[in-house]
């Protein structure tokens, strides 16, 4: 029984956390569109070329604008942008 509990706990701890795209969209609409519209995500010469770069760019903008998002909120915005525009 002890090993079963450890196995279950291990599965729970290692399970990936799913980002909340609805929250990501709301955060995006409340903050990101102050500086740019969605054209920045769809232009031909976009800077972001990978999911890692997308996360870096969202964090850069968050820090530059002094937005006080938690890491999970940044992940929500990244997931929203990826699902809506980038498709990495």
The tens digit of pLDDT for each residue in 46-70 reads 889 999 999 999 999 999 999 999 9
| CATH code for the domain in which residue 70 is found | 1.10.760
Range of the domain at 76: 19-86
Is residue 72 pLDDT above 70, yes or no? yes
| Cβ-contact 20, 83 below 8 angstroms | no
- Residue 1 inside a domain? The answer is no
- Residue 66 inside a domain? The answer is yes
User: How many distinct structural domains can be found in the chain?
Assistant: 1
Quick one: average pLDDT of 34-47? Answer: 90
Cα(54)–Cα(48) distance, integer angstroms: 6
- Residue 5 inside a domain? The answer is no
- Residue 10 inside a domain? The answer is no
- Residue 75 inside a domain? The answer is yes
Q: Give me the chain's average pLDDT, please.
A: 87
- Residue 6 inside a domain? The answer is no
Tokens 């990826």 belong to: 82
């Amino acid at each position: 029984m002890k090993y079963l509990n450890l196995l279950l706990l291990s599965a729970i701890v290692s399970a990936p956390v799913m980002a909340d795209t609805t929250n990501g969209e709301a955060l995006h609409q409340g903050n990101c569109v102050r500086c740019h519209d969605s054209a920045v995500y769809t232009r031909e010469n976009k800077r972001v070329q990978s999911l890692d770069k997308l996360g870096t760019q969202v964090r850069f903008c968050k820090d530059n604008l002094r937005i006080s998002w938690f890491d999970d909120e940044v992940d929500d915005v990244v997931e929203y942008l990826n699902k809506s525009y980038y498709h990495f």
